Amino acid sequence: MAIKAEDVAETRVMPQTLAGATVLQIVPALQDDAAARATLDIARALVHAGARSIVAAERGALVDDLKSFGGEWLPFKSSTLSPISLRRAATRLASFVAEQRIDIVHAKTAGAAWSALRAAGAAHVVTELPDLPRTRLRLAARYLGALAGGDRVIAKSLFHAEPMIKRYRIAPQRVRVIPRSTDISLFDPTIVRPPRVAVLKQAWGIPSGVRVVVVPGRVAPWNGQIHLIEAARMLAGSTRHAVTFVLVGDDRRHSRYVRTIIRSARDAGVDPLFRIVGHVADMPAAYAASDIVVAPCIEPPVYGRVIAEAQAMARPVIASSIGPLPENLLAPPRMPDALRTGWLVQPANPSELAHAIDDALSLDAPAYRALAARARQYGEFMFAPHRVAAATLGVYSSLLGS
């Protein structure tokens, strides 16, 4: 089950059925953000496959980028949920789809999906389920039904797709899970030079020869950092490893929780093992400074982005088996131990957390390097922008093939 190099090659061959096809993506705006950049990745891949690629959106900083490689821009407003505006948008879209002979309409918001389903005519419709907290899914249910109506329905994770599948009775064969992309050219261990790492370790006050556990994410109750205190106490009493825990992330919004962590660490006698360093601008260097990365969440995160980033940086990960996190790493029982890229533990379970940290720190040098290499390889295979774009094009070609 080894991942082959050609699976992650930039020159990946796109499905031949897309040559000559016309695909319209509908997004709110072409601002310089992650969602718009992912849209451009798909548009670029379409052009390379010989397809015509059009993006309907409000103007933004990425319009010129889209045009630079042969993509086309249609000024279009899809972010509204006003019934009158939606009907007008559907009428305009229907004319455009018919005139331009659109083969596939990929609607990425509820408003866009509502209009696309009424305007598609003979075109296929692809929709995307939002990866929202489940409470917000319930509140927005009246607006999200349109997203369930696509011929193919893309979800960023199965965890976030399940409530929509159940509520709207979406046939499983229409659903495709394609994760969010991660910039693996930024999160690349080969370009983070030692001086960048040394600067951070010095700023954090890491003693020489001490292993580093980085815990990324806002210091907040739902991220579960408090459970590291007991895990650290267990490790200090039973392991030979000298380790420092570095909490990297915003520590200002939940000051009471931060004070509780500090007080608990002092009471447990492990406060010298902890650093709360706040926001770090150079996250690739922060991951590179770590030996392992831990995400001890006790509530399901929306994205689980740090797990993808850490693996892209060739770092073993330990994560709570909650929400979308188990989908973003390789660990038993889903994968055999020989293929693991990290460990999954029960949320709010310091004993399991301590055991996993000890296992990771106990790896000898060859075993650690092998696990780190698998993590990087898996990060490229699953989260590289060109891989995510290729998976989306696979959805398009499956529709044209049918």
Average pLDDT over residues 201-218: 95
Half-sphere exposure of 97 (CA within 13 A, CB side): 26
Does residue 240 sit within a domain?
Answer: yes
pLDDT tens readout for residues 38-83: 999 999 999 999 999 999 999 999 999 999 999 999 999 887 777 8
Determine the angle formed by the axes of helices 227-238 and 350-361, rounding to 10 degrees. Answer: 50
How many CA atoms are closer than 13 Å to the CA of 206, on its beta-carbon side? 27
Please tell me whether residues 240 and 153 are part of one structural domain: no
211 lies in the same domain as 141 = no
Name the 3-class secondary structure at 118: helix
- Whether the per-residue pLDDT at 315 is higher than 50: the answer is yes
Q: How far apart are CA 28 and CA 76, in angstroms?
A: 8
The reply to whether 232 and 105 lie within a common domain is no
**Domain check: are 163 and 51 in the same one?**
yes
CB atoms within 10 A of CB 230: 17
β-partners of residue 317 are 293, 342
Distance, CA of 265 to CA of 215 (rounded, Å): 15
Are 169 and 242 members of one domain? no
Given this model, what pLDDT does residue 15 score? 45
Counting residues of the chain whose pLDDT is more than 90, the rounded percentage is: 77
Question: Within 13 Å, how many C-alpha atoms sit on residue 400's CB side?
Answer: 20
Residues 173 and 295 in one domain: no
**Residue at 186 is within a domain:** no
> What pLDDT is attached to residue 10?
39
Tell whether 254 and 375 lie within a shared domain: yes
Q: 308: which 2 tokens?
A: 């993808």
Residues 30 and 174 occupy one common structural domain: yes
Residue 97 has pLDDT above 90, yes or no: yes
Model confidence at 321, pLDDT cuts 50, 70, 90, reads very high
Across the range 96-118, mean pLDDT stands at 93
Number of domains in the chain: 2
In a domain, 394, yes or no: yes
Paired with 370 in beta bridges are none
Q: In this structure, what CATH number is given to the domain that contains residue 108? A: 3.40.50.2000
| Strands 342-345 and 175-177, bridge-based pairing | unpaired
- Please tell me the predicted confidence (pLDDT) of residue 70: 97
Domain region containing 332: 194-382
- How far apart are alpha carbons 130 and 140 in whole angstroms? 11
CA distance 106 to 123: 10
Residue keyed to tokens 């389920």: 129
pLDDT of residue 211: 95
**Is the distance from CB of 201 to CB of 277 less than 8 angstroms?**
no
Q: In DSSP terms, which residues pair with 345 in a beta bridge?
A: 320
| Ranges assigned E (strand) in 222-326 | 243-248, 274-278, 292-295, 317-320
User: Which 3 state secondary structure label does DSSP give 28?
Assistant: strand
Task: Indicate the pLDDT class of residue 237, thresholds 50, 70 and 90.
Answer: confident
Is the domain of 176 the same as that of 217?
no
14: left (phi over 0), alpha (psi -120 to 50) or beta: beta
| Angle at 13 (CA atoms; ends 12, 19), nearest 5 degrees | 140
Q: Is residue 348 part of a domain?
A: yes
Q: What percent of the chain has pLDDT over 70?
A: 92
Quick one: pLDDT at residue 142?
A: 59
Taking only the tens place, the pLDDT of each residue in 332-378 is 999 999 999 999 999 999 999 999 999 999 999 999 999 999 999 99
The strand order across the sheet containing 317-320 reads 274-278, 243-248, 211-216, 292-295, 317-320, 342-345
How far is 371 from 363, CA to CA, in rounded Å?
9
Mean pLDDT for the stretch of residues 292-308: 93
Whether residues 64 and 100 share a domain: the answer is yes
Structure tokens at 313: 């940086």
Question: Do 235 and 305 fall within a single domain?
Answer: yes
Q: Is 77 found in the same domain as 108?
A: yes
Question: What is the pLDDT, as a whole number, of residue 12?
Answer: 40
In a domain, 189, yes or no: no
End-to-end CA distance of the chain: 30
92-107: burial string, b at 16+ Cβ within 10 Å, e else: bbbebbeeeebbbbbb
Q: Is residue 52 part of a domain?
A: yes
| Residue 349 falls inside a structural domain | yes
Question: Strand pairing of 211-216 and 292-295?
Answer: parallel
> Which pLDDT belongs to residue 7?
38
Mean pLDDT score of the chain, rounded to an integer? 90
The average pLDDT across 187-198 equals 96
Any domain includes 35: yes
pLDDT tens sequence across 264-288: 999 999 999 999 999 999 999 999 9
